[in-house]
Amino acid sequence: MKNTIRKWLPAVLFGLSSLAHADLGDIDVIETAGTQEKTGLHGMIGVAALSVPKYSGADDREISPLPLIMLDYNDTWYFHLNRAGVWAFKGDQNAWRLGLIARPYRERNSGCCDELDNTSDRDTSLGVGVAASLKLPVGELSADFVHDVLDNADGAWGELMYRVAILDALPKAQVKIGFGAQWLGSNVADYYYGITNSEAAPGRPAYDVDSTVNWKATLMGSYAISRSVTLMGGGGYTYFGDNIDDSPIVETSGDVVGFVGLGWQF
């Protein structure tokens, strides 16, 4: 029974909280300082305040509470904030890893803003696919490629990220930065950023979005207040590709998201 719980717990938590975490984008890796490597089931739970655009591309913002859940089981099964997966193949000392991943893409609620009046809601998509990571002499390279299994966006997207610790010499603090690119297939890009003929209005013409590449940067940090309590925060910026930037509902050149919170490690 315990093995069954450990095996399926990340997937269950993903289903329960994916909607709340879809807005996080690439904020999925929080480095926790002052702790040792652990085996078995371990992780961190907590709560944070999340600041995001009201929809991707919006100028207006909102702040909402965010549950923080990070779980690992023997560095194989994991649930990290907004994604869950399993590392099926690994090299010595995790020099490389290959596995499966599930991650959401945020919804677009037409009732949030005047800019989306008389448009249809865009539901959250659940991407399932493959993930890989490679340790480099300095930093780590990670990639994933997923396809929506809920038939909402009914398309694929993928990311390539490089992350490196810039402050890890202090016993209680950890800071990591990341840079990378995100590819959105035409179905995904058009579903979330396009305007259909029936949604067109004065000042909001119909617009079809082709596949595009967005550029990303992230900053993550944590400070161990005690052996169990950690203060953490993070932020991310996504610079839109031209196909998205030209959409009549996109008001900014990119999305900025961020959060700050407290977590309890076990």
For the stretch 108-151, pLDDT in tens is 888 888 889 999 999 999 999 999 999 999 999 999 999 999 99
What pLDDT is attached to residue 35? Answer: 43
Q: Name the band, by pLDDT with cuts 50, 70 and 90, for residue 42.
A: confident
**pTM to 2 decimals?**
0.85
Q: What percent of the chain has pLDDT over 90?
A: 56
- Give CA angle at 235 (232, 237), nearest 5°: 170
| Contact yes or no for 256/237 (Cβ under 8 A) | yes
Q: Name the band, by pLDDT with cuts 50, 70 and 90, for residue 69.
A: confident
Length of the chain: 266
Q: By C-alpha distance, which of 66, 135, 62 is closest to 94?
A: 135
Q: Name the band, by pLDDT with cuts 50, 70 and 90, for residue 174.
A: confident
Looking at 19-23, 36-40, 83-87, which range is the least confident one? 19-23
* pLDDT at residue 6 is higher than 70: no
What pLDDT is attached to residue 171? Answer: 73
Sequence ranges of the domains in the chain: 2-265
Q: Where are the beta strands (DSSP E) in 7-139?
A: 41-53, 61-73, 77-80, 83-90, 96-105, 125-135
Q: Name the band, by pLDDT with cuts 50, 70 and 90, for residue 210.
A: very high
- Token pair listed for 225: 């207040």
* pLDDT at residue 5 is higher than 90: no
Q: By C-alpha distance, which of 106, 86, 89 is closest to 148?
A: 106
* pLDDT at residue 238 is higher than 80: yes
Straight-line distance from the first to the last Cα atom of the chain, in angstroms, rounded to the nearest whole number: 21
Determine the CATH number of domain 2-265.
2.40.230
Q: What percent of the chain has pLDDT over 70?
A: 85
Q: By C-alpha distance, which of 149, 124, 159, 113 is closest to 20?
A: 124
Q: Name the band, by pLDDT with cuts 50, 70 and 90, for residue 24.
A: low
Distance CA(70)–CA(77), nearest Å, equals 11
What pLDDT is attached to residue 11? Answer: 45
Question: 247 or 68: which carries more pLDDT confidence?
Answer: 247
What pLDDT is attached to residue 80? Answer: 83
Distances from the Cα of 175 to the Cα of 10, 131, 153, 172, 265, angstroms: 25, 23, 34, 11, 18
* Beta strands 173-184; 125-135: pairing state: unpaired
| Mean pLDDT within 248-260 | 93
